[in-house]
Structure 1
């Protein structure tokens, strides 16, 4: 069992982040000391890893919570999804890196570059991973998480 500071250091997040995850019901440690200090089990650390994978892929916390609490959630399936989505993210980054390199060569006068080539790899549309999440955990879980996240964002703007 790890204390909150130890778990935070291990995962590369702040103690405040772990407290927040607990407060919103995303990651509630299995145990606590008599003094009330949170203790993180190996199972809690596995859940934290899943949360961080989803965060890396751009999922909002509300959506992550809905996915993790879905009765159909399977950890191994989620890990395979993370791998596939990270590979896709790497592919997209490779395209952007190639675009940067091409732009440098163009600016140095080494090659021509069309307007279309200048914008290859950019995609600011919907979250490219959302469709995969819908296929895995269903429209309702993703929609509910999206609506909750949207409402939270609107409340923060008031």
Structure 2
């Protein structure tokens, strides 16, 4: 029998976001605005993962996300899983899903797009999930994963 170790300490109540690609940890933190909240946040990166090799994890105490909030991270962490924690127990599990519309998260790669030349919120429609393709609602150019820039 082997001894189990926790790499990141347990939380009493809140949300655990697991299976984040290690290279995208800080993008997820930014997308969810976790850098601006006062809740206790614990994160770890480059943790061993059987599925991904290395992964990142975020634990947010006393915070429960709406589905539309959390689905935003599917752009950079398409296989992320959420565990809702109450009294140290997992009470619900969720998988992120790409939303049909992506608003104010991604920059249009077209330098001539109005969103890159005037102050306005970007808006994209999901064209394809795999490989990722987003269509700008203003200039109609397609942004793919290679050109994806989170703002």
Normalised by the length of structure 1, the TM-score is 0.25
Q: Which structure has more strand as a fraction of its residues?
A: 2
Normalised by the length of structure 2, the TM-score is 0.26
Larger Rg: 1
